[in-house]
């Protein structure tokens, strides 16, 4: 079976202050994506698709794409703000693209095999890729309801000391099947507790042991059609908030669960996340990778 890794790398990183996806963090100049691709490759993936902004094409090829092309098939797709259904136009004042589900929708026509989708600026750990790959080997993507999968992380293992993060808080049944996922866009440590807010006024406690989605999902290519169908409904439902509304992957999954159209297996991982949400995060990432290299988890030069 061909397996594709899809990497969402179109965000400029406004909180970080630059194009964080190509910042060097490894001992031989590796970027975070290098480690995700390396882990995916040794888990059996043979293709990678970068979702980028068209203006960053040359930069991505230079920084990572040309190098990875020696080891895996590489493709690029562009997330365009004007990639809209018939009858819709970009509203005046809308600047940023439409969110993670819209980004993945850019893969229509390019991704034709089962795929994992991840964020470019998150370190996921080897275990997630290995477990998802093994699940893909036995999954029945023609079943009804269709089978999907996601890597579930422990919330307290996915926080930064330098600000807030967005996570999908999951409700998981005893059978390991996802019941619900709620996107919380502002989670942080406050006074020794983990809390989130929707209005910057009221803060609500979260259990640090909660299972969260880190946008590490496994889908068959038919999922791209499901995104496209639901994007029109999203635009119609958000006409009053059209300048800020975002179309997240969990929205599509939630809707399909509610309609009885999919079952999502949650594979828990104890790996600790780290990433570069903020510029202050970089030093911690460099130290964490250096430690993993010292322990022999990664070579000092990934692609030598």
Find the mean pLDDT for residues 123-150.
94
Rounded Cα–Cα distance for residues 80 and 59 (Å): 17
Find the mean pLDDT for residues 54-81.
91
Find the mean pLDDT for residues 275-302.
90
pLDDT of residue 16: 40
Rounded Cα–Cα distance for residues 189 and 269 (Å): 21
pLDDT of residue 21: 61
Find the mean pLDDT for residues 22-43.
92
**Contact between 159 and 195 (Cβ < 8 Å):** no
Find the mean pLDDT for residues 194-207.
94
pLDDT of residue 17: 46
119 has which bridge partners? 8
Mean residue pLDDT across the chain:
91
3-class SS of residue 247? coil
Domains of the chain: 4-294 (3.90.550.10)
- Spatial CA neighbour of 181 closest among 206, 211, 156: 211
How many CA atoms within 13 Å lie on the side-chain side of 286?
A: 11
- Spatial CA neighbour of 303 closest among 12, 22, 34: 34
pLDDT at 220 over 80: yes
Rounded Cα–Cα distance for residues 21 and 9 (Å): 7
pLDDT of residue 264: 97
Query: 208, exposed or middle or buried, with CB in 10 Å at 0-12, 13-18, 19+?
Result: middle
pLDDT at 245 over 70: yes
Give how far Cα 193 sits from Cα of 161, 206, 235, Å.
12, 8, 36
Higher pLDDT, 165 or 279: 165
* φ, ψ at 210 (rounded to 5°): -60, 150
Rounded Cα–Cα distance for residues 129 and 124 (Å): 8
pLDDT at 19 over 60: no
- Going by the DSSP 8-state scheme, the letter that residue 91 receives in this structure is P
pLDDT at 14 over 50: no
Find the mean pLDDT for residues 232-255.
92
How many CA atoms within 13 Å lie on the side-chain side of 48?
A: 30
């Amino acid at each position: 079976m061909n397996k594709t890794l899809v990497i969402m790398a179109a965000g400029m990183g406004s909180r970080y202050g630059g194009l964080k996806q190509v910042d060097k963090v490894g001992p031989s100049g590796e970027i975070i994506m290098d480690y995700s691709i390396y882990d995916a490759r040794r888990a059996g993936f043979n293709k990678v698709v970068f979702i980028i902004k068209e203006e960053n094409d040359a930069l991505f090829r230079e920084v990572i794409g040309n190098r990875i092309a020696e080891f895996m098939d590489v493709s690029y797709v562009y997330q365009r703000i004007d990639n809209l259904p018939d009858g819709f136009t970009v509203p005046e004042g809308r600047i940023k693209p439409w969110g993670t589900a819209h980004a993945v929708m850019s893969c229509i026509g390019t991704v034709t095999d089962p795929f994992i989708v991840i964020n470019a600026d998150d370190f996921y750990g080897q275990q997630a890729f290995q477990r998802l790959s093994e699940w893909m080997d036995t999954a029945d993507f023609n079943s009804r309801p269709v089978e999907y999968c996601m890597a579930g992380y422990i919330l307290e293992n996915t926080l930064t000391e330098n600000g807030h993060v967005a996570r999908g808080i999951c409700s998981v049944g005893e059978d390991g099947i996802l019941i619900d996922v709620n996107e919380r866009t502002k989670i942080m440590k406050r006074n020794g507790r983990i809390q989130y807010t929707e209005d910057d006024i009221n803060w609500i406690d979260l259990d640090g042991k909660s299972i969260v989605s880190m946008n590490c999902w496994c889908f068959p290519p038919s999922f791209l059609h499901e995104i496209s169908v639901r994007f029109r409904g999203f635009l119609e439902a958000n006409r009053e908030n059209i300048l800020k509304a975002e179309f997240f992957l969990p929205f599509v999954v939630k809707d399909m669960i509610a309609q009885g159209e999919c079952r999502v297996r949650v594979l828990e991982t104890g790996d600790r996340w780290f990433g570069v949400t903020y510029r202050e995060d970089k030093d911690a990432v460099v130290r964490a990778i250096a430690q993993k290299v010292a322990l022999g988890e990664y070579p000092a030069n990934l692609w030598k």
